[in-house]
Amino acid sequence: MVAQPERNLILLGGPGAGKGTQSQRLAVRFGIPQISTGDMLRAARREGTPLGKEADKYMAAGQLVPDSVVIGLVEERLKAADTKPGFILDGFPRTVPQADALSAVLKKLGRGPLRVIEVAVAESVLHERLGGRISCPKCGASYHVKFTPPKVADTCDTCGTKGLITRADDKPEAISQRLREYADKTAPLIDYYTKAGLLKRIDGVGDLEIVLGRVVQALDG
């Protein structure tokens, strides 16, 4: 059997660009884990760990959690054996120091090169998508009242919990803050990875399967 090359992927894009949804699909397609720092932080928050309590202050306000916290989480996760064939980073890196730290970690672990896909979506569309987001308070699965509603109203498809909620960071003030954080701290990574010759940009607006097709084509091309 011919060994598959490592697929070390980053999906980059604003909050609500569809990184989570696309990452989940890519993970299944390529048989590699999705690593979402947002999901990891929300899990820590639900469990009430010291890290979760610390992160909560920032997350509820739509601010980025300090670099040192998320870098530590990702470094630990990348040491796990299931990431050897590759991984999909969703929501990390979000700042230049995080991107620098990631390169250093991959080098230290002797891992192959990165590929970065920018899922491009206009800010007005991000606003609309984030505005209608509802989530399961138990398992964290997320839906959109208009675009991807749950099968049974107000009920989680994944775990059956009734009473879906608007996350604190999906409330209007936090949404504006998250978009500002993206523009100020994360968007510079587009330039960073373009200069490194690692980035490909795809149009993130359209049917989920069509967007997935664009991502796969960008990776295969």
94 is an active site residue? yes
133 is an active site residue? yes
214 is an active site residue? no
The residue annotated as part of the active site, out of 42, 45, 178, 185, is 178
The residue annotated as part of the active site, out of 115, 167, 171, 200, is 167
The residue annotated as part of the active site, out of 94, 129, 185, 214, is 94
Nearer to ligand AMP, 91 or 150 (CB): 91
Euclidean distance between CA atoms 77 and 3, whole angstroms: 23
Token duo for residue 59: 């997350």
Residue 37 Cα to chain centre, angstroms: 7
19 is an active site residue? yes
The CB-of-1 to ligand AMP minimum distance in angstroms stands at 35
C-beta nearest to ligand AMP: residue: 38
29 is an active site residue? no
Nearer to ligand AMP, 76 or 152 (CB): 76
The CB-of-41 to ligand AMP minimum distance in angstroms stands at 5
Residues in the site for ligand AMP, rule: CB under 6 A?
15, 37-38, 41, 58-59, 62-65, 70, 91-92, 94, 98, 169, 178
Cα 53 to Cα 38, 43, 116, 128, distances in angstroms: 14, 11, 31, 29
Nearer to ligand AMP, 9 or 41 (CB): 41
The residue annotated as part of the active site, out of 19, 42, 45, 129, is 19
Catalytic residues: 19, 94, 133, 167, 178
